[in-house]
């Protein structure tokens, strides 16, 4: 199911502007293609990146199994400083550096409050507000009209694929063992190697999204640390993960990934056909109402307050023009404080 999400999650992020924290970066390039009738191509590029990530996961898994447990003590002692360095680097790549710092700090402050509250599901209102509801409100306010979509995609040459895949392999490795850094940050780190085209960036985001998730299971096996919710779930089910479990997980990832590649393209075609026939604003309102109900049910009134505050911060991040990846300060700052305080 988790691997399926890394493929299928690009459909709502591109067509509905309702991403999670891992696919949030696909909204801007994806919407640009959507607005010129190429939403399906955006889905294809992101999904192709995820498909091409599958063999990379196998190669990186072998490397992680052989070496990660040996270098982990060194990494652990430097974790907060590596997170600080990564955060400074990400902020430095933003055109509006002061705004980026403000967004990073206030989201981090809210993250500290949410994660130290007695909420059972603190991440639900926090991340949903920062990345989901804020996007919905922007979509509703802009009253976007979607043109008729083309159910086709341009040909991709190997020379256009090599750089995004190499960048995703390097950046995803860093995020594999650093807590608080997810595929969104991996994509930003990867794109810093060289300026990428819109299509290359979608390929990069698709591949990093899948690689980070795949490697999280290997990190769980080698050093016993969970970097994704899926890895946490596996760790709770299996008291001790053996190499046989790892092999089964990797085989499952490959098979599921191949199937979900075709499933996502099929769903992408259906969405492309429907988008120009229905009211984009009404869909956005319906999704926003649904999000509010879910937050109230699972997080209660206190969680809803966190949700409202995180939505306001998310809106500020969008309106101010800072890159939304800076909102991940909501997780990075609490983790840094955990190690240092």
6: which 2 tokens? 């890394």
Domain of 161, in residue numbers: 2-340
246: which 2 tokens? 């790892």
3-state SS, one letter per residue, for 122-182: CHHHHHHHHHHHHHHHHHHHHCCCCCCCCCCCCCCCHHHHHHHHHHHHHHHHHHHHCCCCC
Nearest-angstrom CA–CA distance, 90 and 59: 27
Torsion of CA 222, 228, 234, 238, to 10 degrees: 40
Torsion of CA 8, 11, 17, 21, to 10 degrees: 20
Nearest-angstrom CA–CA distance, 6 and 71: 28
User: What total number of domains does the chain contain?
Assistant: 1
Greatest Cα pair distance, the chain, in angstroms, is 56
314: which 2 tokens? 């998310």
Backbone angles phi, psi at 121, to 5 degrees: -125, 70
Question: How confident is the prediction along the chain (341 residues), in pLDDT tens digits per residue?
Answer: 677 878 888 887 777 764 444 444 545 677 778 778 888 898 999 999 999 999 999 999 999 888 888 887 777 778 788 888 878 887 887 888 999 999 999 999 999 999 888 887 888 899 889 888 887 888 788 776 777 888 877 778 887 888 888 888 887 777 766 665 666 666 666 555 566 777 888 888 888 888 888 888 888 888 777 655 566 666 667 777 888 888 998 999 999 999 999 999 999 888 888 877 777 778 888 888 998 999 999 888 999 999 999 999 999 988 888 887 788 888 888 888 887 87
The predicted pLDDT at position 194 comes to 61
The predicted pLDDT at position 233 comes to 61
Closest CA to 308 of 134, 113, 161: 134
The predicted pLDDT at position 21 comes to 46
Rg (CA), the chain: 19
- What distances in angstroms separate CA 48 from CA 51, 141, 202, one per listed residue? 5, 32, 9
Nearest-angstrom CA–CA distance, 125 and 328: 14
């Amino acid at each position: 199911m988790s691997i399926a999400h890394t493929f299928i999650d690009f459909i709502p992020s591109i067509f509905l502007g309702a991403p999670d924290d891992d696919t949030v970066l696909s909204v801007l390039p994806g919407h640009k293609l959507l607005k010129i009738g190429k939403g399906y191509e955006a889905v294809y590029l992101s999904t192709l990146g995820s498909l091409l990530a599958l063999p990379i996961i196998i190669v990186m898994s072998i490397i992680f199994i052989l070496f990660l447990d040996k270098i982990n003590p060194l990494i652990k002692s430097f974790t907060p400083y590596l997170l600080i360095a990564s955060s400074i680097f990400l902020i430095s790549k933003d055109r509006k550096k002061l705004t980026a710092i403000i967004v990073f700090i206030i989201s981090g402050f809210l993250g500290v409050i949410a994660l130290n509250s007695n909420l059972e599901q603190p991440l639900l209102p926090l991340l949903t507000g920062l990345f989901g509801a804020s996007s919905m409100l922007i979509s509703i306010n802009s009253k976007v009209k979607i043109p008729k979509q083309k159910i086709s995609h341009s040909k991709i040459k190997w020379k256009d694929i090599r750089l995004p895949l190499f960048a995703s392999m390097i950046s995803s490795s860093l995020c594999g063992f650093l807590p608080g850094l997810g595929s969104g940050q991996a994509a930003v780190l990867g794109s810093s190697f060289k300026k990428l085209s819109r299509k290359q960036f979608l390929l990069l985001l698709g591949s990093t999204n899948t690689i980070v998730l795949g490697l999280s299971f290997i990190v769980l096996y080698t050093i016993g640390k969970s970097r994704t919710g899926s890895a946490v779930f596996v760790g709770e089910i299996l008291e001790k993960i053996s190499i046989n479990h790892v092999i089964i997980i990797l085989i499952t990832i490959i098979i599921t990934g191949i199937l979900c590649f075709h499933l996502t393209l099929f769903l992408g075609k259906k969405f492309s056909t429907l988008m120009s026939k229905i009211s984009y604003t009404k869909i956005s309102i319906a999704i926003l109402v649904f999000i509010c109900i879910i937050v109230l049910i699972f997080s209660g009134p206190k969680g809803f307050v966190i949700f409202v505050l995180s939505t306001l911060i998310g809106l500020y991040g969008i309106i101010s023009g800072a890159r939304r990846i800076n909102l991940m300060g909501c997780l990075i700052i609490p983790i840094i404080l955990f190690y240092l305080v």
